């Protein structure tokens, strides 16, 4: 049982480039999330989804976009990479939103130079 | 509105001695509370959760936490630290109705031999 899988694990981008961070889960969870983790800080919610075709903004959505065409996949897109987007990105999923724990991937470490 | 404060950014203990990681929360409703552990270069893993059942919650690896409504606290404890417990620990408060989760900034636990 793979759980939540994120790719790539590491990436270096130049300012202005774009990329997509991939996330897939095999637990048939309806709820999926994208977080960023900056040094010494907790996780900040970027976007979340309550099911295929439904997404919504979190606390820090600027500069990012998401889509949810299937239950399993929830990619995060950076259109014009900026140094402020250097961070570790985590994808998570859960059976419901609030009372059930979230299952996390191992993260994507992204540097924008 | 909800918030969570982890009272210590760093805690250092000797192997075999007790561990106490402190978490205070603020919430307008009956929250769900979670503790997660993050080892280096890994995602967050659930240690334990409180969802309005027993106030003393037992988790994995010998950890437990006590929900104290009067003190708005959810401190994490372990009777005897092991070297493998060295990691980052996050306290999370969630609104089970609205589904919003708020992460603390984390506590780094160091275990000395």
pLDDT bucket at B44, cuts 50 / 70 / 90: very high
Q: Residue B64: which of B43, B53, B82, B49 has the closest Cα?
A: B49
Q: Residue B31: which of B90, B92, B104 has the closest Cα?
A: B92
Name the range with the highest mean pLDDT among A48-57, B26-35, B92-101: A48-57
Nearest CB among B42, B96, B99 relative to A106 is that of B42
Q: To the nearest 5 percent, what fractions of chain A are helix, strand and coil?
A: 5, 50, 45
Buried/exposed code over B6-21 (b: 16+ C-beta within 10 A; e: otherwise)? beeeebebeeeeebeb
Report percent pLDDT > 90 for chain A.
Answer: 87
End-to-end Cα distance, chain B: 42
CA-to-CA distance for A43 and B105, rounded, in angstroms?
8
Q: Are B13 and B110 in contact (CB under 8 A)?
A: yes
Name the domain count of chain B.
Answer: 1
B8 Cβ under 8 Å from any chain A Cβ: no
Q: For residue B106, what pLDDT is reported?
A: 94
Could you give phi then psi for residue A41, rounded to 5 degrees? -120, 160
Nearest CB among B45, B96, B104 relative to A98 is that of B96
- Provide the β-strand partners of residue A105: none
Of residues A39 and B56, more confidently modeled: B56
Range of the domain at B32: 3-112
Closest CA in chain A for residue B44 = A104
A37–chain B nearest CA distance, Å? 10
Per-residue pLDDT at B98 exceeds 80: no
CA B70 to chain centre: 18
Q: Are strands B56-58 and B23-26 parallel, antiparallel or unpaired?
A: unpaired
Residue B25 has a CB neighbour count (10 Å cut-off) of 20
Contact residues, chain A to chain B, C-beta under 8 Å: 4, 31, 40-45, 90, 92, 96-99, 101-107
Interface test with chain B among A23, A34, A43, A46, by most B beta carbons within 10 Å: A43
A69–chain B nearest CA distance, Å? 22
pLDDT bucket at B85, cuts 50 / 70 / 90: very high
Chain B residues touching A98 at Cβ < 8 A: 32, 94-101
B106 Cβ under 8 Å from any chain A Cβ: yes
Cα–Cα distances (Å) from A27 to A65, A111, B45, in that order, read 23, 30, 16
B28 Cβ under 8 Å from any chain A Cβ: no
Q: For residue B6, what pLDDT is reported?
A: 96
pLDDT digits (tens, 9 = 90+) for B19-38: 999 999 998 888 899 999 99
In chain A, the domains with their CATH numbers are 4-112 (2.60.40.10)
Nearest CB among B99, B105, B106 relative to A98 is that of B99
CATH code (residue B43):
2.60.40.10
Q: Is A28 exposed, middle or buried (0-12, 13-18, 19+ CB in 10 A)?
A: exposed
- A42 contacts B103? CB cut-off 8 A: yes
SS3 A104: strand
Per-residue pLDDT at B97 exceeds 90: no
CA-to-CA distance for B76 and B23, rounded, in angstroms?
8
Q: Are A46 and A36 in contact (CB under 8 A)?
A: yes
Q: For residue A1, what pLDDT is reported?
A: 66
């Amino acid at each position: 049982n793979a759980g939540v899988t994120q790719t790539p694990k590491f990436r270096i981008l130049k300012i202005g480039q774009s990329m997509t961070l991939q996330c897939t889960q095999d637990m048939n969870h309806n709820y999926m999330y994208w977080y960023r983790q900056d040094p010494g800080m907790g996780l900040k919610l970027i976007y979340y989804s309550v099911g295929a075709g439904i997404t919504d903004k979190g606390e820090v959505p600027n500069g990012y976009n998401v889509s949810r065409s299937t239950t399993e996949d929830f990619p995060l897109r950076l259109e014009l990479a900026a140094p402020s987007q250097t961070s570790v990105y985590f994808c998570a999923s859960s059976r419901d939103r609030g009372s059930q724990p979230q299952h996390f991937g191992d993260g994507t470490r992204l540097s924008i130079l | 509105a909800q918030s969570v404060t982890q009272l210590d950014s760093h805690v250092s203990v000797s192997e075999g001695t007790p561990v106490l990681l402190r978490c205070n929360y603020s919430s307008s409703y009956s929250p769900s509370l979670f503790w997660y552990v993050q080892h280096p270069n890994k995602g967050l893993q659930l240690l334990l959760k409180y969802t309005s059942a027993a106030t003393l919650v037992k988790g994995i690896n010998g950890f437990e936490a006590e929900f104290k409504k009067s003190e708005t606290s959810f401190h994490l404890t372990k009777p005897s630290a092991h070297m493998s417990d060295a990691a980052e620990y996050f306290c999370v408060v969630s609104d089970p109705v609205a589904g919003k989760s708020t992460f603390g900034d984390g506590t780094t636990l160091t275990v000395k031999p």
